[in-house]
Amino acid sequence: MTARYTLARAAGATAAGLSRLTGRGGGTTIGGRVTLLVDPLAMTRAAAGRELALVTGTNGKTTTRTLLVAALETREPVVSNGGGANLPTGLTAALTADRTSRLGVLEVDEPFLPKVAQAVRPRAVVLLNLSRDQLDRYAEVRRLAGIWHEALSGPAAPAVVANADDPLVVWAATGATDVVWVAAGQGWTFDSTSCPACGDVLQRDGQRGWRSPGCGLARPTPAWSVTGRTVTAPDGTSYDVKLGIPGDVNVGNAALAAAAAGLWGVSPAKAFDAMARIPSVEGRYLETTYSGRPLRLLLAKNPAGWVEAIGMSRAEAPVVVAVNARAADGRDPSWLWDVPFELLRGRHAVATGERSRDVAVRLRYAGVDHIRVDDPADALRAAHGSGPIEVLANYTAFQSYRRVVRDA
Amino acid sequence: MPDAVRIALVFPSLLGTYGDGGNASVLAQRLRWRGVEAETVDVAVDDALPEQADVYVLGGGEDTAQTLAVSRLADGVLARAADAGKPVFAVCAGFQILGETFLDGAGAVHAGVGLIDCRTDRLPGSRAVGELLGEPAVDGVVELLTGYENHGGRTLLGPAAKPLARVRSGTGNGDGVDGAVQGSVVATYLHGPALARNPALADWLLSKVVGDLAPLDDSEEQELRRERLTALRRARAAWWRRQWRPPARGT
Ligand SMILES: [Zn+2]
């Protein structure tokens, strides 16, 4: 351990503490930033001697990270990064704050995978999916698949646990020597109609198969398969996966986490058992009550996530659709028209958030009975009936609702 | 007037990056609300473009998708539709590929479909990203055109094409105007989608197919438009405030 690193870690901890004291936030990011300023190699040094798994992809990073942490903690303590701090600063802060855990699971923002993998030399990388995210942040998902591909190729590359159902992920992982394929599903095929390798139009067989006639890239045979809530492990044993969090998509995420945990010798039975005890993930899927009514908060950050969230919501419950368009959400909410809100027909909806007027117009054309309410708490009171309410919100609108529910 | 108006959404998997598929839904719903039957047809990339559609809608897309889309549009169906006076509405990348030339992902000049007398190269400086506001330059549309632009292309119109709007705020084509109108082909850089944010533009296109249209209650669209125009005014005021530095206080 170098003197510079010791100093950097202390400086980061001081900055984080000051930031918390002055009420400027959790301090994670500023602490990590200071540490990296003092010692640019701090992330590498903080990772030394640990066995790390990195989790990345457009959707499900936080959930899959949480599931994998639960599985690995059946063995020993695990260091991890919460609160969406998935840039190098946040990763550095998480690693420097926990000096004892030998195992670690870190979620990484998609474009940073190469940089982080090079710095921390992980034992495993879990690739979930790739689809369009906030439009004005990462214009081309194919470019991301390309930089993953480059980062994961070569003899020193880590073991890869990858979703065999997502062509972009498969192409990104094809350069790796050691890949565990998991049929984790793909609800959103809109961003993978052409082959990421050669540009030819992908042929799909109506099941889950797909193939590029141009270069032969095709869905690999998965070692782990998922059908509904049943996960079949490589040895042929099937597990009925009962999670505390909703959604078929999360069964796919659980299968990916179990496959990764298997690299550390955790059995699927033990892994799924640990995952079943997670009721919510950083406020997501949280079941609570508001003015005596059951309420659930579902986060959706992009069209694929919205399709998942609508699918998770209880069909009889009214829906509050909350959308902002701040920098973290993407400034342009025209993605609302990529989401099949027609699925909400027959249910009552309340449009809210800073871009509630965009939502209202979208719901009008989708033929969904709705009203528009500015205030998020008023929006809950405006939901029809007296039964459960589902709140579907994008990133910063979701944070507002966490406060509304907490202050209630 | 046709029994059911058919709206073809051209290659949504290639040209649908910015929610522009919504333009087809808007056109169809605005007909249905007036008692006119309408159907939208999503044309897959490996399918031929239908000859019998009444309106063709193209959206934005990524660089590689553009060249693929052009190769699939080489069969002349779209050109015959335009010759027959059927509305063709194209946004952003869809606009660029209907021109004479555009730049592909590698920066090489690529031949377009040739329905609009225009050529697209690169905007000097950074991408145009943000709210775009224009004053319509065509007869029959009086409301301001509002939307969101996100593109790196600069499109210069030739003599056969007329602009759709004069830019009041934002970049548009890059020379003070936005979009193009040439015969029944109408193009713009407006996302949002354009026809959801601008119902008058949607009805103007539909009137070319079904004639005069009864008014609809567009109060929700109008509320959205007002809010966007207010946000734009506030952003511009904030920008001017930032340009003005208070003089240093004397000692
Ligand atoms: Zn291929």
pLDDT of A136 reads 41
Residue in B14, B19, B62 nearest the CB of A337? B19
Q: Is A343 exposed, middle or buried (0-12, 13-18, 19+ CB in 10 A)?
A: middle
Give CA–CA dist A12/A19, Å, rounded.
Answer: 10
Identity of the amino acid at A316: E
Identify the sign of the CA torsion A389, A390, A392, A397: positive
In chain B, the number of structural domains is 1
Do A236 and A308 share a structural domain? Answer: no
A185 C-alpha to ligand 1 centroid (Å): 20
CATH of residue B138: 3.40.50.880
CATH of residue A194: 3.40.1190.10
A194 C-alpha to ligand 1 centroid (Å): 8
What DSSP string describes A328-381?
TT-S-GGGGGGS-GGGGTTS-EEEESTTHHHHHHHHHHHT--EEE-SSHHHHHH
ipTM over 0.85: yes
Could you tell me the residue range of the domain that residue A215 belongs to?
Answer: 41-275
Residue A193, chain B, CB below 8 Å: the answer is yes
Do A169 and A308 share a structural domain? Answer: no
Q: Is A108 exposed, middle or buried (0-12, 13-18, 19+ CB in 10 A)?
A: buried
The verdict on a CB contact (< 8 Å) between B19 and A364 is no
Residue in B26, B150, B196 nearest the CB of A135? B150
What is the mean pLDDT of the segment spanning A99-108? Answer: 96
What is the mean pLDDT of the segment spanning A235-248? Answer: 94
Asked if residue B36 belongs to a domain, the reply is yes
Do A340 and A236 share a structural domain? Answer: no
| Helical axes B22-32 vs B199-210, angle rounded to 10° | 60
The verdict on a CB contact (< 8 Å) between A199 and B22 is no
Do A212 and A81 share a structural domain? Answer: yes
Read off the pLDDT of residues A26-37 as tens digits, 9 standing for 90 and up. Answer: 567 788 888 888
Do A302 and A218 share a structural domain? Answer: no
Yes or no: say if B51 and B6 are a contact pair by the CB < 8 Å rule: no
Asked if residue A341 belongs to a domain, the reply is yes
Asked if residue A12 belongs to a domain, the reply is no
Q: Is the pLDDT of residue A137 over 50?
A: no
Asked if residue A381 belongs to a domain, the reply is yes
Cis-peptide into B193, omega within 30 deg? yes
Q: Which two tokens stand for residue B115?
A: 């329905």
The verdict on a CB contact (< 8 Å) between B65 and A194 is yes
Q: What is the CA radius of gyration of chain A?
A: 21
pLDDT of B199 reads 98
Query: Which residues of chain A are within 8 Å of residue B191 when distances are taken between CB atoms?
Result: 332, 334
Question: Measuring CA to CA, which residue among A341, A352, A404 is closest to residue A383?
Answer: A352
A200 C-alpha to ligand 1 centroid (Å): 6
pLDDT of A4 reads 86
CATH of residue A294: 3.90.190.20
In chain A, the number of structural domains is 2
**Confidence class for position B90, pLDDT limits 50, 70, 90:** very high
Asked if residue A20 belongs to a domain, the reply is no
Give CA–CA dist A284/A376, Å, rounded.
Answer: 17
The verdict on a CB contact (< 8 Å) between B150 and A136 is yes
Do A188 and A116 share a structural domain? Answer: yes
Asked if residue A196 belongs to a domain, the reply is yes
Residue in A194, A332, A360 nearest the CB of B191? A332
Per DSSP bridges, beta strands B118-122 and A179-182 are unpaired
Asked if residue B136 belongs to a domain, the reply is yes
Query: How far apart are the two ends of chain B, measured CA to CA in Å?
Result: 78
- Per-position b or e across A278-305, b if 16+ CB within 10 A of its CB: bebbbebbbebebeebebbbbbbbbbbb
The verdict on a CB contact (< 8 Å) between A332 and B227 is no
Asked if residue B233 belongs to a domain, the reply is no
Do A260 and A297 share a structural domain? Answer: no
Do A131 and A62 share a structural domain? Answer: yes
Give chain A's mean pLDDT.
91
Q: Is A400 exposed, middle or buried (0-12, 13-18, 19+ CB in 10 A)?
A: middle
Residue A341, chain B, CB below 8 Å: the answer is no
Read off the pLDDT of residues B3-37 as tens digits, 9 standing for 90 and up. Answer: 799 999 999 888 877 899 999 999 999 999 999 99
pTM: 0.85
Identity of the amino acid at B194: A
What is the mean pLDDT of the segment spanning A186-197? Answer: 79
B110, B118, B151, B191: the active-site residue: B191
**Confidence class for position A138, pLDDT limits 50, 70, 90:** very low
Residue A361, chain B, CB below 8 Å: the answer is yes
Q: What is the nearest CA distance from B249 to chain A, expressed in angstroms?
A: 29
pLDDT of A207 reads 78
The verdict on a CB contact (< 8 Å) between A135 and B14 is no
Rounded to the nearest 10°, the torsion over CA A47, A52, A53, A58 is -10
The verdict on a CB contact (< 8 Å) between A331 and B20 is no
Read off the pLDDT of residues A309-361 as tens digits, 9 standing for 90 and up. Answer: 999 899 889 999 999 999 889 889 999 999 999 999 999 999 999 999 999 99
Do A368 and A269 share a structural domain? Answer: no
**Cβ contacts from A onto B, under 8 A:** 81
Q: What is the nearest CA distance from A59 to chain B, expressed in angstroms?
A: 18
Q: Is the pLDDT of residue B251 over 70?
A: no
Could you tell me the residue range of the domain that residue B57 belongs to?
Answer: 5-216
What is the mean pLDDT of the segment spanning B131-138? Answer: 97
Asked if residue B238 belongs to a domain, the reply is no
pLDDT of A156 reads 82
Do A339 and A253 share a structural domain? Answer: no
Give CA–CA dist A62/A84, Å, rounded.
Answer: 7
Do A79 and A218 share a structural domain? Answer: yes
Do A247 and A116 share a structural domain? Answer: yes
More confident call, A204 vs B190: B190
**Confidence class for position A13, pLDDT limits 50, 70, 90:** confident
Asked if residue A219 belongs to a domain, the reply is yes
Percent helix, strand and coil across chain B, each to the nearest 5? 30, 30, 45
Catalytic residue check, B118: no
B92, B110, B118, B151: the active-site residue: B92
Per DSSP bridges, beta strands A238-240 and A230-232 are antiparallel
